[in-house]
């Protein structure tokens, strides 16, 4: 089954109206491939601004977080329906920076995923092991446990994109090798097939994140189980367009 290639740009807590305008203009003016889905995730204050600036037909906007309640006394949190209301279509959940800095648990991330999907947002679900976990040989245990928490909570995976992001590769300039990443992606898909079913597994997009840039993106082209990228630092630069075009 053909899986539509997916490139996400996670701006993290970076940018301003001016820089976001420049990035979106670059995407609007580039001749982007029609068969690559592009999703940009600016900081929450700029979601509506970015969504209104986008004219490229293959580009949509994601929030970087959402809460697992739809309204109420939750100071500082962002509701799924509010994200949709300002024109964004996706949310990034489970990013390692939120797992480690904000102490988000697998269960909380599963609950947020459930609420996001049930109310109409697509979810970019991030999973990945730390360097210690990798060195201890527990990579697959870690990512499968992170997946299992969500598998226990949701049944329809058609609007989920899984982002495998080894924590040691994020922002370090040390991307996983295509061989290493492909092995983990294949194992994630196999585990998912055993738990959820072969058909859902064949359709599930599993993208790689961690120091992807304009130069190394194409080195993953032969990896059967890598269906795109989640890009941090390089998504703020013109080379993001090279990444979107890296399969051409």
Annotated catalytic, 191? Answer: no
Name the residue number minimizing CB distance to ligand PGA. Answer: 232
Q: How far is the CB of 92 from ligand PGA (least distance, A)?
A: 8
Q: How far is the CB of 231 from ligand PGA (least distance, A)?
A: 5
Comparing CB distances to ligand PGA, the nearer of 39 and 230 is 230
Comparing CB distances to ligand PGA, the nearer of 120 and 173 is 173
Closest CA to 111 of 70, 76, 159: 70
Compute the distance between CA of residue 80 and CA of residue 188 in angstroms, rounded to an integer.
27
Helix, strand, coil share of the chain (percent; to 5): 45, 15, 40
Is 210 a binding residue for ligand PGA by CB under 6 A? The answer is: yes
| Distances, alpha carbon 18 to alpha carbons 48, 127, 222, 242, in Å | 14, 31, 37, 22
Compute the distance between CA of residue 136 and CA of residue 56 in angstroms, rounded to an integer.
44
**199-230 as b/e, with b when 16 or more CB fall inside 10 Å?**
ebbeebbbbbbbbbbbebbeebeebebbbbbb
Within positions 9 to 48, which residues make up the interface with ligand PGA, using CB under 6 A?
10
Residue of 79, 93, 115, 170 interacting with ligand PGA (CB under 6 A)? 170
Q: How far is the CB of 94 from ligand PGA (least distance, A)?
A: 11
* Contact predicate 148/194, CB 8 Å: no
| Distance in Å from the first CA to the final CA of the chain | 20
Residue of 171, 215, 222, 248 interacting with ligand PGA (CB under 6 A)? 171
Within positions 228 to 247, which residues make up the interface with ligand PGA, using CB under 6 A?
230-234
* Contact predicate 231/7, CB 8 Å: yes
* Contact predicate 62/91, CB 8 Å: yes
Annotated catalytic, 77? Answer: no
- The piece of 53-61, 143-151, 224-232, 238-246 that touches ligand PGA (CB under 6 A) is 224-232
Binding-site size, ligand PGA (CB under 6 A): 13
Compute the distance between CA of residue 176 and CA of residue 183 in angstroms, rounded to an integer.
11
Comparing CB distances to ligand PGA, the nearer of 201 and 206 is 206
Residue of 37, 165, 182, 227 interacting with ligand PGA (CB under 6 A)? 165
Q: Catalytic residue, from 95, 97, 104, 133: name it.
A: 95
Q: How far is the CB of 234 from ligand PGA (least distance, A)?
A: 6
- The piece of 56-64, 99-107, 131-139, 206-214 that touches ligand PGA (CB under 6 A) is 206-214
The contact set with ligand PGA (CB under 6 A) reads 10, 165, 170-171, 209-212, 230-234
Show which residues are catalytic.
95, 165
């Amino acid at each position: 089954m053909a899986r539509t290639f997916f490139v996400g740009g996670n701006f993290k807590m970076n940018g301003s109206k001016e820089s976001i305008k420049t990035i979106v203009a670059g995407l609007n003016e580039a001749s982007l491939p029609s068969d690559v889905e592009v999703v940009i995730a600016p900081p929450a204050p700029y979601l509506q601004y970015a969504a209104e600036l986008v004219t490229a037909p293959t580009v949509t906007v994601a929030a970087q977080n959402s809460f697992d309640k739809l309204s109420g006394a939750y100071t500082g949190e962002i509701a799924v329906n509010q994200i949709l209301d300002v024109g964004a279509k996706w949310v990034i959940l489970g990013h390692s920076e939120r797992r480690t800095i904000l102490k988000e648990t697998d269960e909380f991330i599963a609950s947020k995923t459930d609420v996001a999907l049930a109310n109409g947002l697509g979810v970019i679900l991030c999973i990945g092991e730390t360097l210690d976990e990798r060195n201890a040989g527990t990579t697959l245990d870690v990512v499968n446990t992170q997946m299992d928490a969500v598998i226990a909570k949701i049944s329809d995976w058609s609007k989920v994109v899984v982002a495998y992001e080894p924590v040691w590769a994020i922002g370090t300039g040390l991307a996983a090798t295509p061989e290493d990443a492909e092995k983990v992606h294949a194992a994630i898909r196999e585990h998912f097939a055993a738990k959820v079913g072969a058909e859902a597994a064949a359709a599930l997009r599993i993208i790689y994140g961690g120091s992807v840039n304009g130069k190394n993106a194409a080195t993953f082209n032969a990896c059967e189980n890598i269906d795109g990228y989640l890009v941090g630092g390089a998504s703020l630069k013109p080379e993001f367009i090279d990444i979107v075009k890296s399969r051409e």
